[in-house]
Structures are given as C-alpha cells and as structure tokens.
Structure 1
Amino acid sequence: MSFTDDRVVFRAADYVMLGVMLLGSMGIGLYFAFSGVSQRTKVDYLLGGRRLKALPVCLSLFASFMSAISLIGIPTEIYSYGTMYVYCLIGQGFSYILAMFTLVPLFYPLRLTSVYEYLNMRFKSRTVQLIGASFGVMSTLSYMTVALLSPALALETAVGIPLWLSIVLVGAIGTIYTTLGGMKSVIWTDVFQAFVIYVGIFTVIIKGTMDAGGFGKVWQINKETGRIVFDDISIDPRVRHTIWNLSLGMSFYWLANHFSQTSVQRLVSTRSIEDANKVYLFTCPLVLAFVAVLSLTGLVLVAYFQQLGCDPLAAGYVKNKNQIVPYFVIHTLSFFPGLAGLYISTIFSGALSTLSSGINSLAANTVQDFLPWFLRYRSEAVVTTVTKTLVCFFGITSTGLAYLAKDFEGPVIQVGFTAVSATNGPLLGLFLLAGLFPQANYVGAVVGFASSLVFSYCNAIGSLRFGYSTKMLPMGPTDRCGSGNASSMTVTPGYTFTTTDDVNGSSELTMSTTLRNMQEMDALGLPQRDFSLYDISYVLAPVIGTILTIVIGLTASFISNHLFSKTTTPEAKFLFPFCRRLWYSDRDVLDTELKFRDQTPGCGKLTAS
C-alpha cells in the first residue's frame, strides 16, 4: 500500500451514489403520500392503521436505533479504547428478551398511541403523563440533535462536505417525506435505509480486511497494539468498561429505549400481538450482528493504517477521532468510483432514519399528550392536518438545533449515551415503578422521577465537565505520511506519543516509554484522586437513574398512603403479566387475561368458564 500527500476527496460518482440514496428515500415517502393510501385519520397517519407487518416494522426499528452515531462511534470506540465495548452485546440481547415479556403483553392490548397515556391510565394522573411526555420529548430531541450533528461534523473535515449541507439535506428530506407520508413512509424508507446500511458496512469491512492483509493480520496487529481486551472484570464503578458494567448498563439503556415513544409506536402499529413479538424477535439478531460488524470495522481500521504506515489522526489529517471513520472509508474505497459514496450513504441513512422516526413520534406525543383537550371535538381531517404540521415543525426544530450545536466535540458514543441516559434512566424507572408495584401512587411517581432526574442531570453535566478522562490507546505510525500534510509530531523508537481526548473534546499530549509501561502507570485506568461520583462509568448512568426512581418513588408512595390513609389499587391489566399473580387473586388475573384475549387482534376468542 502507498500513501500520497493529497487528502482523500469525495468524487462525482460518490455524490451520484449519495444522491440516489437520498432520492430513493424521498421517492418512497412521496409514493405513500400520493398513491391513494388512506391517511384520513390520526391512526392511519401515525400508526399505519395498526395493520403493519412484522418484518418491515422490525427493519424500521433497527434502522431507527442503529443511527449515524453507531456507524461513526462504534469503530471509533474500538480504535480509541479497544474491544471491551463488545460486551454491550450481552446487555442489548437481554433487553430484547425483557421487552418481549414486559412491553408487548402490557402495552399492545391497551391500544395506545402515546406510551405516556399508560402513565395516566395507571396512576390516574394527567400530571404524571405530562411530566413523562415532556421529558420524553426532550430526550428524543437531544438524541436527534446528536444523531444529525455528529456525522455532519465528521464529514465536513474528513471528506469536505459542508456541515450546513449535510444537516440541511437530512433535515429537509426527512421532514418532507415524513410529513407527507406518515408512519408508512417512515417504515418503508427505513426498510430501504436498513438495506443501504448493511450493504455499506459489509463492503467496507471486506475491502478493508483485504487491504490490511486478511483477518489473521488484522487480529495480530490489534493484539500487538493493545486493542484486543476481553478480560476486564473489575468491580470498581470508575473503570470505564468492564464485563459487568457493560452488561448491566446496556441492559438498562436499551430497555429504556424499548419503553420510548419511537419503539412503542411501532409495536402498537402491527396487526397482532404475535407480530409485535416477532418485531423484537427479528430485530435482536439484526442489531447484534450490526454492532459486531461495526466493532470488527474498528479493528480493520486500526490494522489498515498500521499497514499503511500513516495514522491520519496522529498525522493531523483529521482534527478529532470522530472523523477517522469517514476518512478511512473514503481512502480504502477510492479504488472504485461510487463505493465511497455508498458508505457515506449509510451514514446519511442512519441520520435520516433517526430523524424521521423521531419527528413522527414527537408529533404523536404532542397530539395525544398535550393537545387532547384542543382536538377532542375536531374532525379527523383537522386532527390529521394538525399532526402533519407538528411533524414539519419538529423537523425544522431538530435541524436548527443540530446546526446551533455545531461546536460539539468528543466521543459521540459516550456523549450521546450520557445525554440520553440522564432522562431515559429516570423514565425507565417510572415505567417499572408503574408496572411492577401496585402500591406506587402518583405522589411517589412524581417525587421519585423528579428526584432521580435532578440527580441524573447534575451527574451527567458534572461527569462531562469534571469527570476523569480515560487515556486513548496509542495511535498508529506516521513515518510513511506525506510530508506536506504530516503534523509536527515525531515518533521516536522506544516511545509512544498519544493524544488524549477528554469527554469535552479537549486534548493533551502524553508520552510513555511503552504500551506496557503506560498500562502499569495507570492500572485499570483509574483516576489518581479521591472517589467522586463524576468518575463513575457513564454506562452505569441509566442503572442509577432507574433504581433511584423506583426506590424514592416507592418510599414516597408508602409515606403518602400512610399520611392520607388512602390506598388505591390499580387494575391488574396495568401491571406486567408476570407480576399480576404476585399481587392479585387468580380470578382477577384470569378475568384480565380473558378480556385481553377477546379484545386483542391475533389472540383466539376465549370465554371464562
């Protein structure tokens, strides 16, 4: 392999490939807007008439959650910190199993439009519903902002696509087809985008592995550079990634995603409860394979630049590590016109899917949670028009927020996870409090959620600003970089220079005699200072938020029930099925199950004997 002084460039054929993907997404959306598909009611527009099949909904859910953040962030995580991140697969897989035993049997029979309607039904309190919906909207907006901005920032420096152009293209196209086509447009464009994503990542990994000398060489190089690490079993909560905190933290994080509006809205749009179960059953292996392939892409990336003799981050070709993935893609796929554009299309596809799903769910929340009093006596045509207007409004808002946050830096996986977990952890605790414990009341729900939320936000902000910065692994060599673009950094035999990025994006240059000595000097990556909550691994944030909500919520519920001598027991149907026999009589449970089977599509009609 050889290297040139010229930066990699996005060529005309690559722009054509990207244009084909964008036009394809737009075309699908316009088809459902003007093909005569019924969108006369709110249910048709937001839920596809509750007649969608499992497979397209599965692919849509996959495309929505496997965003551009993952496409850029996971390979960068492996490049920066090694392979411990792959233990997230345990937590992700477990969360899908839990979703099948909690979400599906609880939410599907209730025929919800907004997931936060359940909070009103369960606690008989509009206040709890509004609080949950408000912070759910904030969480979705935060996630969409990072999902739109992170690829735009990476593409701007790495391949020369202007930041404003990336944000506006994704924002405008996603907003237009979602506004016009509703849920069916979102679902079927997600199917198309899921196909683009998988084709793109497999193209890169095959070509990159070949260029690096085969999988055996890839593994050997990564082992020599200290990136093959699977044995960190520390129980210290300050260690960034261990087997335990990744398995536990990702279980809570992804279960919180399953309880989000984006996920539940797809769940209840299927034809039957069997199809709803299939959605999670089919999505799980897709997601696990996707994360595994992206992790392998990170290993290929490391080996490729090692073999090339020029690490673009060490040489200064890219400004921060989030730009290294698109740089690698353009470089390794430049041998054939259009292939680089195919992979960049996967990044745009991930951002488009996240945006379209997000603004559709935000419109559903607004109509169902915040405006029911205003729309109660309006015609279906008016309600549908208002909903479309809201979709357009949230699309424009998300685009604007992404551009305003253009100074964002830092590892996108960690920053995105932290921003979302600050809200999603307490929200998950609120739903678990409602579904697990009939003793919980609206007072406990409000107090528990508010207390956990304050703690989670304070801790998230503190960890981003004051938390300990884990050192990156050593970057690759620069001895074969072109002199015209190489930085002033020199690599002296016996020494390794590394750039350490903290979570705020600041950098400092550190030096150690060898990788072994560096690891001995900073054993387990622990901070050399007194214990601080800000140093706790970011992956534990949703666990802490969830537990705080439940513990404080139950305590406040018991106290309020005792003070006011007023205990109300919710109907059995508002608890998770596996909890009903614990708290209710067999007859109450049987009546609830028989009633649900009679009323729920896909279940056989039964009658009590």
Structure 2
Amino acid sequence: MKGLDVLDWVVIAAYFAILLGVAWWVIMQKQKNTEDYFLAGRNIGWFMVGASIFASNIGSEHVVGLAGNGAGDKMPLLIYELHAWIVLMLGWVFLPFYARSGVFTMPEFLERRFDSRSRWVLSVVSLIAYILTKVSVTIYAGGVVVSALLGIPFWVGAVATVVLTGIYTVLGGMRAVVYTETIQAVVLVVGAGVLTVMGLDAVGGWSELKTTIGAEYFNMWRPNSDPDYPWLPLFVTSTVVGIWYWCTDQVIVQRVLTAKNIKEGRRGSIFGALLKLMPIFLFLIPGVVALALKMQGRLDWDSPDQAFPVLMANLLPSGLRGLVAAGLLAALMSSLASVFNSCSTLFTLDVYKKLKPHKPEEELVKTGRIATFFVVGLGLLWIPIITRLSEGLYEYLQNVQAYISPPIAAVFLLGVFYKRINSNGAIATLVGGLIIGFTKLTLEIMKSSFESGSILFNVAHINWLVFGAYFFALCIAICVLVSMCYPAPSAAQLNGLTFGSISSEQKSENKSSYNWVDITTSLLIVAVVLYIMFSFSMLSL
C-alpha cells in the first residue's frame, strides 16, 4: 500500500490547522453554564444542526465498516443507511415534544413523562451502550485507519485519535463539537465523493463493476429462510434500532436541541436526512469497487474493513490522497467528539447533578470534562471483545444495538403516542429489557464455551435480527400490560408530552414552524429512499 508523501502531509496539516483554529476560537469564549457547554447556548442554525447530525453519525462504523460491508458480501446491511426517513421522524414527530419540555437529555425527558426511576435507568443504560458501541467502535476504527495510513501500530493510532479529539472536546464543549463537525462534514463529503468517482472510473464504470462482481451481489433483500439476513426480521430490527438511534439517542437528539427553535431544529433534521442519503455512494460503493479491483488482481487487502483505506492509498494521486485521509480522520474525530460530549452531558446532568443538586454551574462543567476520561478508558478496555462478536465492524455495531435498543424505542414510542402508558410500565420495560438484552449479549460472547445443542448454546445461536424483532414485540407487550395494571397518568403530568395531551395553542405553534418547502423536501427524501430500496433488489438487477 502506498504511503502518504510530503504534499499529502501538507494538506492534512492545513486541515488540522483550520480545525484546531476554530476549536481554539470556541474555547476562548466563556462557557460558565451548562446550557452553553452542553447545548451551545441553544442558538445554532439549521445548516449547522444538519451538518452536525450527519458528522456525528458518519464515523468509524461508516468509513471503515460500511465499506467493509460492500467488500464483504453484506449488502443487506445497506438498509441501516436508508434511515433518512427515520431522521425525518425526529424533526416532525419527536422534536416538538422534546423542545416543549425544555430538557437537556433524553433521560430527563423520561423523568418529565414518567418518573425519576426511568431517568436513572436510561442514564445508566445509555452510558453502557456508548461504551459498548460508540466509544469502543470509534476508537477501534481510529486505530485501523490511522495505522493503515501512517504505518504505525494499531494501539498507537487508537490512543492518538482519542487524545487529539479529547483535547478540543473537553475544553470547548458542545459549541466546539458543532463548529468542527460542520467543517468535518464538508471535508468528508468532498473527499469520499472524489474517491467514489475515481474508483468507478478505475474499475471501468458501473456496468463493468456489476459484470465483475455479479449483478446478484447487489441484492439487499434475501428470503426469510436466509440464516444471516432474513428480510422481514432485518426490516423490523433495523427500524427499531433506527428509531432508538435517530429519535431517542442523546448523541443525535442533542444536536437538534442546540437549535434556536423548533423551526430551525426541524429543518436541521431534514437537512441531516438529506445528507444521510450519501453514505451509500460515499462508503458502500467504494467498498464494492475495492472488491472488484481485488478480483481483477489490481488491489489487495486482508480484511474487508481495510478496503476503504487501502483503496484510498493506492488509487488517489498525491495531495488528493491527503484530502481524503483528512476526511477519514475527520469522520473518526467528529463521531468520537460527539460521543465524548454526550457521555459527559448524560453523566453530569443525569447522574452527578441528581446526586448533588446544589453544585454550582462551573462545578458541573468541570465534572463533565472529567467524566469524559473515564468513559474513554472503559471503551479502550472493551475493544478486544469486538472481534469476538462479529467478523465485521459494522455488523458488530448493529448486533449490539439490536440488544440495547428495543426497550428504549418501545418506551419512547408508546410514551409519545399512547397517553395510557404510565411510569410502572416504562420502568418494567426498561429494567426487563436491560436484563434480557444483556443476557443475550453475554451468552453470545460466551457461545464457544457452551456444548453444541445445549439450551444456552441454542439461545446464544439465535439470529440477532430475529431476536431483535421478537424482543421489540415483547417490550411493547410488557409496557402495555404492566401499565394497564396501574392507574393512568394525570392530565397535569401529560401536559404537552403526548399526542393525546397537546393543547390547541401548542398545535397552532407547531403548525407555524414549517411550510410547504419543508413538507416537499421531506416527501422527496422518502421517495429517494424507496427508489434505492427498489434499485438494490432482484426486481431491478
């Protein structure tokens, strides 16, 4: 694999100089209170909100993992990149409730809707989930990319990524994260877009790519009898994970909460949904191109997760290679920075402040900075487990999320759409779901130690997509049945927090926050998603 030359390093250095300059400017601004440090003063416009949503999502699992899917015959997982329609749900369905409640975090919203028990459980589960998925996965991919680009040991690259990102995240807070993510989103789109175009040109065009790989390779819909990716469980589980991630997860929702108002937040989510359509072309297709070039004997890599960095290093000319390398590093850093800030927010406001409610604002900001370091350390310790759960980084991420997301998605969906759900139903679902999900995850990690054919082995062996679909249905049932055994919530508790309790004044306020442009753009995005779903099927191949 070709290494970076002097011109590449000049481009990378220029990128980081701009990035750190912006971060330093933000750090110099006073951030003495929690609203400014954790939510950037709630004063961000729609463009930066959308770019921040995109940059927060497009991290290691996409740069490394999605291209690995394209190179590793895992096309069905493409469905996770067709969640632009769920990003729209964040702006159109959930945001008005979050904004009206005035909350900082998602656990805080559950406390408003239910009680403090739900807030505690979601806070703990979210922090654990970040360590198992976002933090460890991003650090792992950072090590893979940096070591591939610079030719240094994996752990050196992983730790270097953490340190560099942690410095400006800890010091600058949410405002530094949002501003730098906007720059990183632009660099990433330009860099990966150039690689896609040049890759297709190198392989001989789209028709030659399909001829080399085989048209059937692009089919994302497999029969329900498929042992790995049955289409119906894939659709159900991916949708549940999508609702959890895009509509209830702190990392994403925190971006729209930084907006000036509901109108800017909704438009930010629409812009984020539009950008969400790009990863298929920016990362998946380059992975397929890398596979085609390997089949043609023009490229070589050992693991599918290496496809993107190897393609970049060998295909692009000097200077341009540095730009795309900067885009790779940008994606890794933006994703990591988002997680750092959200973990800090959750721990400080939902754990520390609840234990010590009289601490001054400056003390809370300081605590948030310290909390980041502990989360990073735990993420580093979890990295060795990643390779035991799945052969691919992206699949590992979706695998774990299928065990974490169902109870949270069920509680938020029912909490917003069904006013009869009460605090006992919510806590039973969250605690029960936590136990069931982590039991399945533990059994899967230990599967090799069980006797083949035993009960524990069979449970561990259940397809994760099938398990996720049934798990979600069980969570819905628990939430409804337990709620029916206890009194309904009072009207005062529900005020404006569910569809059945919105006042006419609140409805009018929400209606005035959008126009025909917002509606038309949203419908266009949904149409594009449906078109892509059809295009990657046997019906069109």
Fold in common (TM above 0.5): yes
Q: Alignment length, in residue pairs?
A: 504
Q: Cα distance 1:108–1:148, how it changes in 2: closer, same or farther (>3 A)?
A: same
Which residue in 2 is equivalent to 1:506?
A: none
User: Paired residue for 2:283, among 291, 294, 297?
Assistant: 294
Q: Deviation of residue 545 (structure 1)? A: 3.9
Alignment-derived partner of residue 530 in structure 2: none
CA contact (8 A) 1:456 1:541 kept: no
- In the alignment, what sits opposite 1:352? 333
Judge conservation of contact 2:100–2:496 (CA < 8 Å) in 1: no
Closer, same or farther: CA 362–407 of 1 in aligned 2, 3 Å: closer
1:78 aligns with 2:81: no
Amino acid at match of 1:394: T
Alpha-carbon distance change, 428 to 384 in structure 1, aligned in 2, over 3 angstroms: same
In the TM superposition, what whole-angstrom CA distance separates every residue of 1:285-343 from its partner, at most 9, and x where no partner exists? 21112223322212211222223x25524xxxx3x33223212221112xx22333332
Q: Distance in 2 between matches of 1:246 and 1:231?
A: 9
> Take 2:88 and 2:68, find their aligned partners in 1: how far apart are those partners?
28
Partner of 1:405: 383
Contact persistence 2:65–2:394 (CA under 8 A):
yes
* CA apart distance, 1:80: 1.3
Whole-Å separation in 2 of the counterparts to 1:152 and 1:414: 18
1:188 aligns to 2:179 (yes or no): yes
Question: Partner of 1:62 in structure 2?
Answer: 54
**2:520 alignment counterpart:** none
Residues 1:341 and 2:322 aligned together: yes
Aligned 1:121-520 pairs, distance under 5 A: 121-123=112-114, 125-142=115-132, 143-153=134-144, 155-156=146-147, 160-223=151-214, 227-230=217-220, 232=222, 234-236=223-225, 239-258=227-246, 259-307=248-296, 309=297, 312-313=300-301, 318=302, 320-333=303-316, 336-373=317-354, 376-387=357-368, 389-390=369-370, 393-395=371-373, 397-398=375-376, 401-402=379-380, 405-406=383-384, 408-409=386-387, 410-463=391-444, 466=447
- 1:475 is aligned to none
Equivalences for residues 19-38 of structure 1 within 5 A: 19-34=13-28, 37-38=29-30
Match of 1:473 in 2: none
Q: Following the alignment from structure 2 to structure 1, what is the Cα–Cα distance between the partners of residues 208 and 354?
A: 64
Structure 1 segments unaligned to the other structure (5+ residues): 1-6, 468-526, 604-609
User: CA, structure 1 residues 461+377, in 2 after alignment: closer, same or farther (shift >3 Å)?
Assistant: closer
**Bigger radius of gyration among the two:** 1
CA gap of 1:151–1:540, structure 2 versus 1, over 3 A, is farther
Computed over aligned residues only, the root mean square deviation of the Cα atoms, in angstroms, reads 3.1
The residue matched to 1:81 in structure 2 has which SS? coil
Q: CA deviation at 1:454?
A: 2.0
Partner of 1:17: 11
Q: Is the 8 A contact 2:59 2:334 kept in 1?
A: yes
Instruction: Specify the alignment match of 2:521 in structure 1.
Output: none
1:113–1:74 distance in 2 versus 1, CA, 3 Å: same
Question: Normalising by structure 2, what TM-score?
Answer: 0.84
1:569 pairs with one of 467, 477, 490: 490
| CA positional deviation for 1:377 | 3.3
1:489 counterpart residue number: none
Q: Which residue of structure 1 lines up, in the alignment, with residue 525 of structure 2? A: none
**1 CA distance for matches of 2:214 and 2:277?**
23
1:45 pairs with 32, 37, 60, which one? 37
Distance in structure 2 (CA, Å) of the matches to 1:58 and 1:541: 33
Distance 2:192 2:127 in 1: 31
Shift of 1:382: 3.3
Given that 2:4 and 2:149 are in contact with CA atoms closer than 8 Å, whether structure 1 keeps it comes out as no
Structure 1 range deviating more: 113-122 or 368-377 = 368-377
The reply on whether 1:549 has 2:475 as its aligned counterpart is yes
1:293 and 1:153 map into 2 onto residues whose CA distance is 19
State the match for 2:539 in structure 1: none
Q: CA deviation at 1:158?
A: 7.1
Return the alpha-carbon distance in structure 2 between the equivalents of residues 196 and 366 of structure 1: 31
2:532 alignment counterpart: none
SS at match of 2:495: helix
Aligned-partner residue type, residue 489 of structure 2:
T
SS across alignment from 2:416 = helix
Separation in 2, partners of 1:231, 1:379: 54
Decide whether aligned partners of structure 1 residues 589 and 544 sit closer, same or farther in structure 2, where only a CA change above 3 A counts: farther
Shift of 1:81: 1.2
Q: Distance in 1 between matches of 2:405 and 2:158?
A: 25
Distance 1:292 1:242 in 2: 24
Residue aligned with 1:112, SS: coil
CA distance in 2, matches of 1:241, 1:407: 23
Return the alpha-carbon distance in structure 2 between the equivalents of residues 31 and 231 of structure 1: 48
Q: For structure 1, which segment, 363-372 or 187-196, has the greater mean C-alpha deviation from structure 2 after superposition?
A: 363-372
Counterpart-to-counterpart distance in 1, 2:443 and 2:342: 30
Q: Could you say if the C-alpha distance between residues 591 and 321 of structure 1 is closer, same or farther in structure 2, counting changes exceeding 3 Å?
A: closer
Render the CA deviation track for 1:219-251: whole Å, top value 9, x for unaligned.
211217x5232553x234x54335434433322
Q: Hey, what does 1:523 align to over in structure 2?
A: none
Give TM-score, length-normalised by structure 1. 0.75
Q: Given that residues 71 and 294 in structure 1 are in contact (C-alpha distance below 8 angstroms), is that contact kept between their aligned partners in structure 2?
A: yes
Alpha-carbon distance between aligned partners in 1 of 2:512 and 2:344, rounded to the nearest angstrom? 26
Identify the residue that residue 511 of structure 1 maps to in structure 2: none
CA distance in 2, matches of 1:404, 1:589: 47
Long gaps (5+) in structure 2: 515-541
Report deviation, 1:199: 1.6
C-alpha change, 1:348 and 1:367, in structure 2 (3 Å) is same
